[in-house]
Amino acid sequence: MLKDFRNFVMRGNVLDLAVAVIIGVAFGAIVSSFVKDILMPPIGLLLGRVDFANLFISLSGESYSSLAAAQAAGAPTINYGVFINTIINFIIVAFAIFLVVRLASNLSKPKEEAPAAPTTKECPHCLSTVPLKATRCMYCTSDLS
């Protein structure tokens, strides 16, 4: 059973999948940091100094100065600012994956060759196919020039 498991794990597909998952997790962390630390602060500044990570609704009815204060008090909250950040993360990751898949499909397409020049032509008299360089039809002996 151990030998079968080792053979399963060492197959190319499983190793490729493992590498893809690890790289995907690392890429997700980079995108999360990009959204949280670089993209959202200028957007929040443009919208009147809004910190999206601190946008929440307290379900307890009390008012809190920040999401951290509400969570420290144990108040139930709807964290819609964090949800907005997560949606932006998803859109960026989905777009990056779209670009990678599109690039891979473009690279895997066989290049179309130009159509070959014709090597035959049709006799206008008997409609037989004759070589392109022929000056007389080999079937009806008509002049083709």
Instruction: Tell me which amino acid residue 45 is.
Output: L
Model pLDDT, residue 76: 93
45, two tokens: 């500044």
Q: 10-112 domain in CATH 3.90.226.10?
A: no
In this predicted model, what pLDDT tens digit does every residue of 38-76 receive, in sequence order? 888 888 888 887 777 888 888 988 888 888 899 899 999
140 touches 128 (CB < 8 A)? yes
Q: Where in the chain is the domain with CATH 1.10.1200.120?
A: 10-112
Residues 6+ apart with CB under 8 A from 144: 121, 123, 124, 130, 134, 135, 136, 137
145 touches 124 (CB < 8 A)? no
